[in-house]
Structure 1
Amino acid sequence: MKIIIAGSGAMGSRFGLMLHRSGNDVILVDGWKEHIDKINNDGLQANLNGEEVVEKIPAYHQDDLADVDFSADLVILFTKAMQLETMLKSLQPCLAEETKVLCLLNGIGHEDIIKNYVKFENIFIGNTMWTAGMDGPGRVTLFGSGSLDLQNLGAGKEEAAKEITKVLSEAELHANFSEDILASIYRKACVNGTMNGLCTMLNSNMTEFGGTTYADDIVEAIVTEFVTVAKAQNIELDQPAILAQIKKCYDPETIGLHHPSMYQDLIINNRLTEIDYINGAIVRKGKEFGISTPYCAFLTQLIHVKEEILGAK
């Protein structure tokens, strides 16, 4: 299969490398010139579960696709949420009539943007539990195992979704066809909508936050807003199970000492965050359905204030 990885940072590089190694025709696309140049000059370098590997995978800057002769069967989106529309505009020369687009971004509601550039029946959405780390231009660390769930949005496109699932699974990415992907995405968004914003505002890891007197009350209030908005869209979530899942994040023996990705973006790398596509998305959908979301609204505002104070870009 001819596959474009659109957004070839840590996670995109993982998927690109594994799909390439399983025999697919893969190209990497990204907006980070130094990263693209390093891959083209030296190959994509990875520490893959302790093994040093180098794979020669063609890489292109997203602004240079007009001259690229590559009509994709599948595009996998891994950009930051705020970069999605710019990437979709850049990809137009590589999108054929029947190109499938799989969105694996964090957050909620990305299909509302994608459908402006891709036929709705060709849009697929998913939720991945793989991890990856970026060590520098052209180099990533890929440890552990993971999985992903995906589903078609268009009616009658189940077989196409299952074909994508097959290709991903043959690359040992452990893909599963889901009949309730929106619930999976909302469950993950509940974790991101609490741990990411709160740890970023409080300059804490998850264990430190979870050990405070007020953690449970704050998390429950935020999750209640997610669950209520989901229900308005006929998405049923098990709130006690989600709260239990979030509490597992506090464990220092597992991931509790980890700083969430939003903290890494803003506090460590001084980058703008994806808060508008996590808590901010709940605020927008809450307004659409007449649901009050004060906790998500306040946390979204606080993160934007911190972005401005820190001069994030």
Structure 2
Amino acid sequence: MHFTILGSGAMGYRYGVLLQEAGNKVEFVDAWRPNVEKVRQQGGVYVSRDHHGRHLVPIKMFYPEDYVGHPDVWIVFDKQMQLADLLKRTQQSFDGQQYVLSCMNGMGHIEKLLQYFEPAKIIAGTALVATVLNGPGDVDFIGARGAGTMNLANYTEKPDKMTAQIVTELKKARFNPTLTTNFMGTLLAKVVFNSVVNTLCTLFEITMGEFASYPKADALSVRLIDEAYDVCERAGIQMLNTRQEELASVNYVSKVANPLHYPSMYQDMSHNRPTEVDYINGYLVKLGRQYHYEATTHAFLTHLVHLAEHTRHQKVSY
């Protein structure tokens, strides 16, 4: 199959490189100039795994306006606040036959994708896999080959032949995909996970393992999970996991799968980039208010992340 990665950061590189290694044609599109220029200068992207084995993987990368390819499937990984502009800049290569898959963090991307793709051709999901962008053209895959899992679902909740082909290629690339027919439940599972781990690790500048080692970590997780599930129940969303299963997922990923990993929100904060907290904890707050429920803990954490951002920006400006 022909895949094009739209948004070639940490996760975009991981999906693109592994799908390319699995025998697919893969091209990369990105709007971050240092990244594009570095890849062109090097002739590819440097890939490590758990900080070892750094090697150059040849890839083709384009700026959005320059790309004229027409892939079978777009794989979209970008920050929520940048996606609208990236889609607009790339729209010359969209056509009515293409499918799009996105496993972005947070919520807000589906509405943007619907402006360019037919509902029946949108697939979205979640990826429980850790990856670090060391810098332009340099990425580190965290975890052993085949580590991590992903869930995905069709927007229409009606899988078709093309969906099956996409899942097959994801399996070949060892992403361990599980296809569901619960679109919102699939997406919200990762939102809830991130609303706990990403946010708390970012605020205290700690790894997932350091968070999990705190004796009262479960109490913090349960408070946030319960509040999020209260929101989703009021919205009529059937979650993939029970509350206890969601807690178990938080603990497994934090203690076993990726204990040394700093979540993506921390990576943004530490580089003085805007975080996606409004699309994670903030999304749960807004969704709750639609159903007359105040997710007070998530609202408080959203404010704390913005306070941390504000404080860091103030220090940088001095």
Q: Which TM-score applies when normalising by structure 1?
A: 0.88
| Change over 3 Å in CA distance of 1:225–1:208 after alignment to 2 | same
Q: Distance in 1 between matches of 2:96 and 2:271?
A: 38
The 1:48–1:197 alpha-carbon spacing in structure 2 relative to 1, beyond 3 Å, is closer
1:108 Cα shift? 2.8
Aligned to 1:18: 18
Change in 2 beyond 3 A, CA 1:244/1:48: closer
Residue type matched to 1:23 in 2? G
Give ranges in structure 1 of 5+ residues lacking alignment: none
Compute the displacement of 1:207 (Å): 4.5
Pairwise CA distance, 1:210 = 4.3
Deviation, structure 1 residue 211: 4.9
Aligned pairs for 1:1-313 within 5 A: 1-42=1-42, 43-47=44-48, 50-62=52-64, 64-65=65-66, 68-142=67-141, 143-144=143-144, 145=146, 146-154=148-156, 156-212=158-214, 215-231=217-233, 232-236=235-239, 237-248=241-252, 251=255, 255-266=258-269, 268-311=270-313
Q: Which amino acid aligns with 1:14?
A: R
- Describe the SS at the equivalent of 1:133: strand
Amino acid at match of 1:218: L
**CA pair 206-69 structure 1, distance change in 2 beyond 3 A:** closer
Q: CA deviation at 1:280?
A: 0.8
Partner of 2:237: helix, strand, or coil? coil
Deviation string for 1:232-280 (max 9, x for gaps)?
A: 23313411222233244553x65444332212210x2111101011111
**Does the 8 Å CA contact 2:30/2:62 hold for their aligned counterparts?**
yes
Q: Counterparts of 2:218 and 2:131 in 1: how far apart (Å)?
A: 29
C-alpha distance in structure 2 between counterparts of 1:100 and 1:52, whole Å? 32
Which secondary structure state, in structure 1, belongs to the residue aligned with residue 69 of structure 2? coil
Question: Cα–Cα, structure 1 residues 46 and 218, in superposed 2: closer, same or farther, change >3 Å?
Answer: closer
CA distance in 1, matches of 2:208, 2:19: 33
Contact in 2 for aligned 1:127/1:181 (Cα 8 Å)? no
Letter in 1 for 2:136: P
TM-score, scaled to structure 2: 0.87
SS at match of 1:270: coil
Shift of the alpha carbon at 1:180? Answer: 3.0
Q: Give the superposition deviation at 1:97.
A: 1.0
d(CA) in 2 for partners of 1:170, 1:249: 23
How many residue pairs get matched?
308
Partner SS, residue 301 of structure 2: helix
| Cα offset, 1:48, TM superposition | 5.0
CA distance in 1, matches of 2:220, 2:162: 41
Q: CA, structure 1 residues 13+257, in 2 after alignment: closer, same or farther (shift >3 Å)?
A: closer
- Is the 8 Å Cα contact of residues 46 and 53 (structure 1) preserved in structure 2? yes
Offset, 1:214? 5.3
Provide the C-alpha distance between the structure 1 equivalents of 2:158 and 2:183, rounded to a whole number of angstroms: 16
Aligned sequence identity (%): 30
**Residues 9-44 of structure 1, C-alpha deviation per residue, up to 9 Å, x if partnerless?**
122112111222333222111122121112122222
**Could you tell me whether the CA contact under 8 Å between 1:4 and 1:74 is conserved in 2?**
yes
* Letter aligned with residue 259 of structure 1: Y
Alpha carbons of 1:51 and 1:197: their partners in 2 closer, same or farther (altered >3 Å)? closer
Q: Which consecutive unaligned segments of at least 5 residues does structure 2 have?
A: none
Distance in 2 (CA, whole Å) between partners of 1:218 and 1:141 is 30
Distance 2:189 2:164 in 1: 22
* Shift in alpha-carbon separation, 1:83–1:239, aligned structure 2, 3 A: same
1-structure distance, mates of 2:165, 2:16: 18
Structure 1 residues 302 and 52, CA gap change in structure 2 (3 angstroms): closer
RMSD between superposed Cα atoms in Å: 2.5
How far 1:212 sits from its partner (Å)? 4.8
How far did 1:213 drift? 6.3
SS of equivalent to 1:72: coil
The separation in 1 between residues aligned to 2:291 and 2:227, in whole angstroms, is: 12
Decide whether aligned partners of structure 1 residues 57 and 211 sit closer, same or farther in structure 2, where only a CA change above 3 A counts.
closer
